[in-house]
Amino acid sequence: MDLRECIYHHLKELVAIPSISNTKEESLAADYLAKSLAEQDYFRANPGLCGQFPIEGDPLGRTVAYGLVRGNGRRTVILTGHYDVVDTEEYGEFRKYAYDVEAWKNASGPELEGLLEMLTPEAREDFCSGEWLFGRGVNDMKGGLAVGLAVTGWFGGRVLEGRGLEGNILFLSVPDEEAYSAGMRGAVPLFVDLARRYDLDYACLLDLEPCFDEGGGQQVFIGSVGKMLPAVLVQGAKAHVVEAFKGLNAVGVLARLFLETELAPEFAEVCEGELCPPPTWFNLRDRKEGYDVSVPLRAGGYMSVLGFQKTAETLMERLVELGRKAFSEYLARMEGQRRALEEMRGGGEDGAEAAGNCGSGIADSAETAGKWGSSVADGAEAVRNCGSGAADSAEAAGNCGSGMDDRGGHCGSAAYGVEIPGGRPSGVPGETVPPYSVLEYRELADYCVGKYGSEAFADWQREQQREAGEMIRAGRWSYPQATLELMDRLLTWSKITAPVMVLSYAPPYYPAYHSDHLPGRAGAGSALFDLLARAAAGYGVRLEKGNYFCGISDLSYCGGGEGPGLEGYAANSPMWGGLYSMDSEAMKQFCAPALLFGPVGRDAHQMGERVKAASLLEEVPSVLIKFIEQMFANGGEI
C-alpha cells in the first residue's frame, strides 16, 4: 500500500473499534495499534523495539502501544495521540454509522435522508461535497493516529532500505485522554525508560490532535491550558421548612459561591490576545438521599477552572475568600428577608398578620441557625469580619483579572492567617471549629489527625479510598463524585456540627503547559512552529500559531511537572495517592517541547464529527515527513 492507502486502511480499522473511554474495548484499539506496528517491515526486523506497556495499577488493564524506529544520533521526534473516543448516544438509531466510515459513503434512500436530517446544515453541506470523512473518532483523534502509524512505517522502511535517518521516530498511543488522562500519566515513565535505555533526546513531541481551519489558516498550538476541578461541600443547619429562619440552607450558601465564580472574568487570563475561558460549574446540588421537608443540611458541587498560569495554591486562597463572602452575603440576605417579613406583619398588609403568626413566628426565629449565632445579623457580621470583608473581597476581585501579585499569585490574597470568629487563625485548625469557617481539605484532615491521631486517620483514609475505588471501578461513582463523598464522610467523622465550608480538588488535574517556557529550552516551541510552518508552506498549507489549546490535552504531562503547584494540589485532594497520582519525578525528567498538529476536522464529539480527506490523506503526512527531515538535517539544529 502507498501512504494514502495505508492511512485510510488504518482509519477504517480504528474507527470500527468502539474504544469508548473507561471501557474494556479501549484495549482492543491498543491491540490493533501494537499488531499493526509489529507487522511493519521495520519491526519485523526489530521486534524488540515495539510493544505494549501496561499502565501501572490500571483496573481495566489498559496499555500504551509504542514503536521506536532507530536511526543515527540521539535526537528523537515523538508522534503521539490517544485511541479512546467519547460515546455515541447522539447517533440514536443511526449508531451503526458511528463505527463505519464506509457506511456513510454507501447510505442511500430514506435512510440517507434520515441520517442527513440529524446533521447541522454545515455538516450536511460538507457531506454532500464528498470532501470529508465521517464517523466517531475520525477527527478526535483516530485520523491523527492513522497518519502517525503510516508515517512511522514510512520512516522504518527508509531505514531498512539503507537510505539513512539522522534521528529517531517514536510512535506512542495512549488510552483515556477523554476522561482522566490515565494513559499519558502512565506513559511518562515509559518515555523516561526509553530515553535512558536508548540514549534518546526528545527534540519534539507532535500530538496529532485535530486542527481547526476557519479560512485564515490551520491553527497549531504550542501549549495547552491547565485545568483544576475544585470541589465544595457546605454544611448549614437543619430545620423544618416552617422554621427555616432557625436553620441555614446549605444550598443557599453554595449558590452564593456559584454566583461569585460561574463565568467570572476575574479567573480568566490573557496571553497575547488569547483568552482563557472562565470557570463553569459541572455539578451543584443538596446531599439529601431522599425527599423530606427539611432545610438541606449539606450541599456540594464542583466546577472546572482553566488557567494559563494560576496554581492550586493561588486558586485555593481566592476560593477561601469567596467562601467567606458566600456565608456573609447569604446570612445578610436571610436577615434582610426576616426584617422584610417583620415589616409585613407589623404594617397590617392583608394576610401578613396571618403569615406572621404561622409556625413559631418570624421574630422568634431571629436566633437564626440556632446556636450558631445570636442572630442572622450577628452571623453575617461575624463572617464579614472574617479575613477580608465582603467589600474587601469585592475589591480584590476587581483587582484580580489575570494580573500577578508579588508572590506570583493571580488573585492577591492577604486572608491567610487572619483571625476568624472564635479567634482561630484560618490556617490552623483548633480544638473546636467556629461557625462559618471555610476550611481547605488539608485543614479538615489536620483537624481529624489532631482529634484521633495520625495512625487512626491513615487507617480511615485507606479504607475510604478502598471503598471509593470499588465504586469507581463499578461505574457507580466518577472521580469528582468520589471526592465529594470522601469530603462528606470526613466532615461527619470530624463531628463538626457548626456551619462550615470545605474546599478540595477532584481529579483530573492538568498542569498548564507552554513549550516556550520549558527549563533549559526557552523559545523551543516557537522555533519548532516556524520550522513546521515552512514545511507546510511547501505543500500550500498555511499555519497559524496559537499559544494555549483550551480544549485540554495530554501535553499537560510533557512539561516537567509543576513542582510546588503539584504539591499544593495533592495536599487538598482526597483522591491523591491511593486512587489518583502522577509521577512528578518522571515528569521532571520527561520535558519535551511539543506542538498540537493533525488533520483538519470539525464537530468533535458530535454526530457530524468529520475530517477533511485531503488534509488527512495528503497534506498532513507530507508536512510531517518534510518537517522531520528538516528537524534531522544539519545535526537537527532548529
R_g of the chain, CA atoms, integer Å:
28
Paired residues of 232 in beta bridges: 301, 503
Q: According to the model, what pLDDT value does residue 296 have?
A: 97
Give the least confident one: 188-192, 353-357, 533-537: 353-357
CA distance 265 to 277: 8
Q: Which whole-number Å values give the CA distances from 549 to 282, 283, 495, 566, in the listed order? A: 21, 24, 44, 21
Q: According to the model, what pLDDT value does residue 379 have?
A: 53
Domain boundaries, the chain: 3-87+138-224+512-559+583-636, 226-510
Please give the single-letter amino acid code of residue 191. Answer: F
Contact of 527 with 154, CB cutoff 8 Å:
no
For the segment 513-538, what is each residue's pLDDT rounded down to a tens digit?
999 999 889 999 999 999 999 999 99
Residues contacting residue 12 through CB under 8 Å, at least 6 positions apart: 101, 102
Does domain 226-510 bear CATH number 3.30.70.360?
yes
CA distance 121 to 543: 27
Question: First-to-last CA distance in the chain?
Answer: 33
**Residue 406: exposure state from Cβ atoms within 10 A (0-12, 13-18, ≥19):** exposed
Angle between helix axes 3-15 and 26-38 (nearest 10 degrees) is 150
Q: According to the model, what pLDDT value does residue 5 have?
A: 98
CATH of domain 3-87+138-224+512-559+583-636: 3.40.630.10
Q: According to the model, what pLDDT value does residue 425 have?
A: 33
Q: According to the model, what pLDDT value does residue 562 have?
A: 59
DSSP H or E segment with residue 441? helix 441-452
pTM of the model: 0.85
For the segment 20-44, what is each residue's pLDDT rounded down to a tens digit?
999 999 999 999 999 999 999 999 9
Q: According to the model, what pLDDT value does residue 412 have?
A: 26
For the segment 86-105, what is each residue's pLDDT rounded down to a tens digit?
999 999 999 999 999 999 99
The mean pLDDT value for 337-344 works out to 95
The mean pLDDT value for 459-467 works out to 97
Residue 369 scores a pLDDT above 60: no
Q: According to the model, what pLDDT value does residue 402 have?
A: 36
